Amino acid sequence: MMRLKVYADRMSQPSRAVLIFCKVNGIAFEEIKVDISKRQQLSPEYAEINPMQKVPSIVDGRFKLFESHAILSYLASAFPGVAHHWFPTDLSRRAKINSVLDWHHSNLRHGAVTFVVNTVLAPGVGLPLNSQLATEGEKLLSSSLSKLENFWLKGDGQFLLGGFKPSIADLSLVCEIMQLEVLDEKDRERILVPYKKVLQWIEDTRYATRPHFDEVHNILYKAKRKFQEKRSKQTNNETGPTDKITLPSKI
Q: By the criterion CB under 8 A, which residues form the site for its own copies?
A: 51-52, 63, 65-71, 73-74, 77-78, 91-92, 94-96, 98-99, 101-103, 105-106, 109-110, 147, 151
* Residue closer to its own copies (CB basis): 43 or 77: 77
* Residue closer to its own copies (CB basis): 70 or 193: 70
d(C-alpha 33, C-alpha 8), whole Å: 5
Strand-pair category, 4-8 with 57-60: antiparallel
- Name residues whose C-beta falls within 8 Å of residue 179's C-beta, 6 or more positions apart in sequence: 13, 112, 113, 116, 220
* Residue closer to its own copies (CB basis): 66 or 159: 66
What minimum distance in Å lies between the beta carbon of 68 and its own copies?
Answer: 8
What minimum distance in Å lies between the beta carbon of 98 and its own copies?
Answer: 4
DSSP 97-163: HHHHHHHHIIIIIHHHHHHHIIIIIGGGGT----HHHHHHHHHHHHHHHHHIIIIIT-SSSSSGGG-
* Residue closer to its own copies (CB basis): 23 or 94: 94
Give the strands of the sheet with 4-8, arranged side by side.
29-33, 4-8, 57-60, 63-66
What minimum distance in Å lies between the beta carbon of 89 and its own copies?
Answer: 10
Beta bridge partners of 7: 32, 57
What minimum distance in Å lies between the beta carbon of 56 and its own copies?
Answer: 12
* Residue closer to its own copies (CB basis): 79 or 227: 79
d(C-alpha 240, C-alpha 99), whole Å: 51
d(C-alpha 98, C-alpha 159), whole Å: 15
Q: How many CA atoms lie within 13 A of 179 on its CB side?
A: 27
* Residue closer to its own copies (CB basis): 40 or 130: 130
What minimum distance in Å lies between the beta carbon of 160 and its own copies?
Answer: 14
What minimum distance in Å lies between the beta carbon of 196 and its own copies?
Answer: 19
